[in-house]
Amino acid sequence: MTLKIALIQTNSLVGNISANLNLIVETVTLVRNRSDIDLIVFPELMLVGYPPEDLLFRRDFILTANNVLFELANIAPEIGVVVGFPEFDGENLYNSAVVLSEGSISAVYRKQKLPNYGVFDEMRYFTAGKKPCVFEFKGQFIGLSICEDVWHSDIVQATKDAGAEILLTLNASPFHVGKAEQREALICSHAKTAQLPIVYVNAVGGQDELVFDGASFVANADGKIVFQAAEFIEQIGVVEFENGQFLNLSYPAFQKRNKASTIYNALVCGTRDYVRKNGFKGAILGLSGGIDSALVLAIAVDALGAENVEAVSLPSKYTLEMSNDDAKIQAEIMGVKYHSIPIEPAVKAFTEMLAVTFENTPADTTEENIQARCRGVVLMAMSNKQGKLLLTTGNKSEMSVGYATLYGDMSGGFAPIKDVPKLLVYELTHYRNSISQVIPERVLTRAPSAELSPNQQDSDSLPPYEILDPILARYIEEDQTADEIVAAGFLLEDVMRVISLVDRSEYKRRQSAVGIRISERAFGRDRRYPITSGYRGI
């Protein structure tokens, strides 16, 4: 007997149980029109979205989610539906998957491995399940697991030993660079060892700083990927089994991933969903003529459409004419509404207001920061007036060392490239231009500058990015010590300087806008350091 399974790679909204319920019902209704579909599988915690965080402490929220299951049971009694939900048994809360068929609940599985590292803190909310779950459906024995479970070979083997012929795993596995390859290699290995086909269904879409890449797949009992869904888009995939064996029908060929393309698509997806899910009318950003804002503008337009994006040039007396020209050229190429608002009147007003207070003091970064803060006031005013989200344009290299102005260029509600190092910014702009030339070539080749003082360049304050970025990667993402970084070939002077800047800038980062996570060690959820700290590990 054959079994056709629909893999629902979909985008839920955290906390909106009714919207997620409607999405499930609409999807089941769509799929059931195909009379040959037997089983429909949704991602982890589909009913409430992932991660619901401290919503899980709200009893009304949990009871609503559990009561909704009874509404789902009868929507398609002739087929099976597998949905992730937070199960409350009157005492404990579990991250669970339920199997609905013939108008009732036929099986429930409770997640056994609760991740408590990086962006995950499931032990804060859930109690771990203790046993495998295998249910019979259409003559085949199917096991269930949830996300972290399938990363552990003992869980896979225990499910096989319990009689499973196929293992379904419901996932909300967030993206970072290399994550898809990592999960595929590990899960294929487990499938081969246990001689058990694994059907991996993953969520897709952005949720605050997290973005879920989808990329659902099927690994056969030989550990080979035999079905692969797309990345970063909602998709319904249909696969077929017979007596526990995957049927090699006509499926799309596996596509080799391109790093720049994958990262760029993640940034577009995360930006689109943050704006859309939070109800903004579009986005606005300061367009300086530099490479960072150029990349953010391209991401915003690709995410939201040119008609929903505005770019604002805010020149000062230090802004070079080519910066003004390049900003205007890119805005015209991308078809966005463009404004040029000189900040000199505001800078002059603040300078005059502070003249007595600043009397007999030398000019320093204070005067530079006044310029950045004038820009922040203008951009936030436009954001407020129009209901559009202000995107900040700082990159990870700048945020790491504090090369940004609080309440100035850090003003805004979302930071698309917050986790993107400067050298990767260049790589992504070249990638985007390879699709269509939207960023002026001069933006890619000129020396980066904040343009807050005469002839200023980033290299006046920072080591060259070819040196800075590798040091930052070692210190922030790999937790290497100064001695280890120096041993890797970097100058002690550069290493000490960079580490000092990173440590001193924690207070700025804590006040920065949320941004899309693309690395395993992003600021915020992953890297959590105290602001007030006497430790000096250098």
Q: Identify whether 133 is a catalytic site residue.
A: no
Q: Identify whether 111 is a catalytic site residue.
A: yes
How are beta strands 337-340 and 389-391 bridged, if at all?
Answer: unpaired
Count other Cβ atoms within 10 Å, centred on residue 370: 19
Which has the closest alpha carbon to 318: 186, 451, 435?
451
- Tally the residues of the chain: 538
Q: What angle do CA 123, 142, 8 make, to 5 degrees?
A: 70
Strand partners, 140: 137
Encoded tokens for 128: 């771990």
How many Å apart are CA 468 and CA 462, to the nearest integer? 8
Catalytic residue among 111, 160, 277, 396: 111
Place of tokens 């909106």: 16
Q: Is the peptide bond before 463 cis (omega within 30 degrees of 0)?
A: no
Q: What angle do CA 140, 144, 150 make, to 5 degrees?
A: 125
Sheet holding 235-242, edge to edge: 104-110, 93-101, 80-88, 39-41, 2-9, 235-242, 245-246
Catalytic residue among 44, 122, 209, 368: 44
Encoded tokens for 52: 């619901």
Q: Identify whether 44 is a catalytic site residue.
A: yes
Count other Cβ atoms within 10 Å, centred on residue 363: 9
By the 10 Å C-beta count (0-12 exposed, 13-18 middle, 19+ buried), 367 is classed as middle
In angstroms, the first-to-last Cα distance of the chain is 66
Catalytic residue among 133, 147, 269, 374: 147
Q: What is the DSSP string of 165-200?
A: SEEEEEE--B--TTHHHHHHHHHHHHHHHHT--EEE
Please, are residues 439 and 537 in contact by the beta-carbon 8 Å criterion?
no
Please, are residues 47 and 3 in contact by the beta-carbon 8 Å criterion?
no
Count other Cβ atoms within 10 Å, centred on residue 379: 24
- Alpha helix (H) residue ranges in 224-278: 259-277
Please, are residues 39 and 137 in contact by the beta-carbon 8 Å criterion?
yes
The pairs formed by 220-224 with CB atoms below 8 angstroms and a separation of 24 or more are 220/191, 220/246, 221/191, 221/192, 221/195, 221/196, 221/197, 221/245, 221/246, 222/191, 222/192, 223/188, 223/189, 223/191, 223/192, 223/193, 224/188
How many Å apart are CA 207 and CA 45, to the nearest integer? 13
Give the active site residues.
44, 111, 147
